[in-house]
């Protein structure tokens, strides 16, 4: 049977392909929706009253500025003055510079979305607004409290990321980093209560224990040299475990391009160059490293991939940074 489809996807002419005849994917049928239980009606009334009592949350829109992928936070409504008040209030400051710095830092914590119209990455307004509301909910009374609130936000975001990774990989080490992050958040909450003159919710006890490990090793000593009457058996044993002496390079080394570096003798080095490099391992050619991801022979759960390890390392650095700042 002959397949007339072009094998190279780049050869496909969109005008020749009848996209419209492709069957539309059917929408999954929803289960029958039950009417709301009557029990919820009085509750909903009260919840609505509670919601209306909550202060209006400050919001921002990110407006492109210039054409360098630069953005600035603007009011989501037309009363700029009230909006500015709300934002300053959220950070407990009257300094516009402080607000600008905090907003930039929050933006850096939040993700970005690809915008197909502008063909550029835009800061995630949803995340940024949630971040701003988080700070606002703490109601910092001054810049120092706002800074603590911003750190709590960073720890919270990291906790969520590391926890998701821990749950997906089932890795104990990742889970322990997540637990540390969660404890740090609780400690920050305590710090906040303290600076506000309230009692700490819990007392923390940190016990540092030094443990001594004793290792015992068994060695097999072979008396080969220095014996008055050498016993041939140990020598035979040594020969059997020693790799055979050989001047032959492995075939892959022999086939590799030669190192172009100049050796101290004045001639070029001529050792086998590292994959993709023009110099050998002794002349600055870094190993290209093991295969990444599932191609790696030891890949199991993904808990030890570069990304997972970097996430844990980043979380630990964040924890260290927070610990340094703690009183």
* Length of the chain (residues): 327
How many amino acids of this chain bind Zn ion (CB under 5 A)? 6
Q: What is the rounded distance in angstroms from the CA atom of residue 210 to the CA atom of residue 62?
A: 52
Contacting residue, 128, 138, 269, 303, with Zn ion by CB under 5 A = 269
Q: Is 73 helix (H, G, I), strand (E, B) or coil?
A: strand
Q: Which helix (H) or strand (E) holds 44?
A: helix 40-53
Q: What is the rounded distance in angstroms from the CA atom of residue 274 to the CA atom of residue 265?
A: 21
Q: What is the DSSP letter of 293?
A: G
Helix axes 306-325, 143-169, angle to 10 degrees: 150
Contacting residue, 261, 278, 304, 314, with Zn ion by CB under 5 A = 261
Binding map of Zn ion across residues 201-240, x = CB under 5 A, - = no contact: ----------------------------------------
Binders of Zn ion among 270-309, rule CB under 5 A?
271, 280, 283
Nearest of 325, 319, 326 to residue 180 by alpha carbon:
319
Tell me the two tokens of residue 320. Answer: 């260290």
CB of 273 to Zn ion, least distance (A): 8
CB of 294 to Zn ion, least distance (A): 33
Nearest of 138, 124, 126 to residue 55 by alpha carbon:
138
State which residue, 262 or 317, has the beta carbon closest to Zn ion: 262
Q: Which stretch binds Zn ion (CB under 5 A): 160-168, 236-244, 246-254, 268-276?
A: 268-276
CB of 261 to Zn ion, least distance (A): 4
Under rule CB under 5 A, residue 107 binds Zn ion: no
State which residue, 183 or 281, has the beta carbon closest to Zn ion: 281
CB of 266 to Zn ion, least distance (A): 14
Tell me the two tokens of residue 155. Answer: 């720890």
Q: Which residues bind Zn ion (CB under 5 A)?
A: 259, 261, 269, 271, 280, 283
């Amino acid at each position: 049977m002959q397949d007339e489809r072009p094998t190279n996807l780049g050869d496909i002419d969109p005008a020749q392909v009848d996209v419209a005849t492709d069957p539309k994917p059917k929408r999954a049928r929803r289960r029958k929706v039950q009417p709301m239980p009557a029990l919820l009606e009085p509750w909903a009334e009260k919840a609505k009253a509670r919601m209306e009592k909550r202060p209006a949350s400050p919001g921002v829109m990110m407006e492109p500025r210039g054409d360098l992928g630069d953005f600035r936070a603007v009011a989501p409504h037309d009363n700029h003055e009230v909006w500015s008040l709300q934002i300053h209030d959220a950070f407990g400051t009257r300094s516009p510079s402080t607000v600008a710095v905090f907003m930039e830092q929050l933006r850096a914590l939040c993700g970005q979305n690809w915008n197909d119209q502008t063909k550029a990455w835009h800061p995630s307004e949803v995340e940024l607004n949630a971040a701003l509301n988080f700070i606002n909910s703490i109601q910092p009374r001054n810049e120092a409290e706002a800074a603590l609130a911003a750190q709590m936000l960073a720890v919270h975001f990291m906790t969520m990321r590391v926890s998701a990774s821990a749950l997906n990989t089932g890795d104990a080490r990742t889970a322990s980093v997540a637990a540390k992050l969660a404890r740090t958040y609780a400690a920050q909450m305590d710090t906040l209560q303290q600076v506000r003159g309230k009692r700490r919710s819990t007392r923390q006890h940190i016990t540092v224990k030094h443990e001594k490990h004793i290792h015992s090793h068994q060695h097999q000593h072979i008396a080969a040299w220095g014996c008055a009457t050498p016993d041939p058996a140990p020598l035979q044993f040594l020969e059997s475990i020693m790799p055979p002496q050989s001047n032959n390079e492995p075939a892959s080394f022999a086939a590799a391009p030669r190192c172009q570096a100049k050796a101290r003798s004045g001639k070029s080095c001529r050792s086998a160059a590292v994959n993709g490099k023009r110099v050998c391992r002794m002349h600055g050619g870094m190993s290209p490293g093991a295969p990444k991801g599932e191609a790696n022979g030891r890949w199991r759960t993904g808990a030890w991939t570069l990304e997972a390890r970097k996430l844990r390392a980043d979380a630990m650095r964040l924890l260290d940074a927070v610990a340094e700042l703690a009183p």
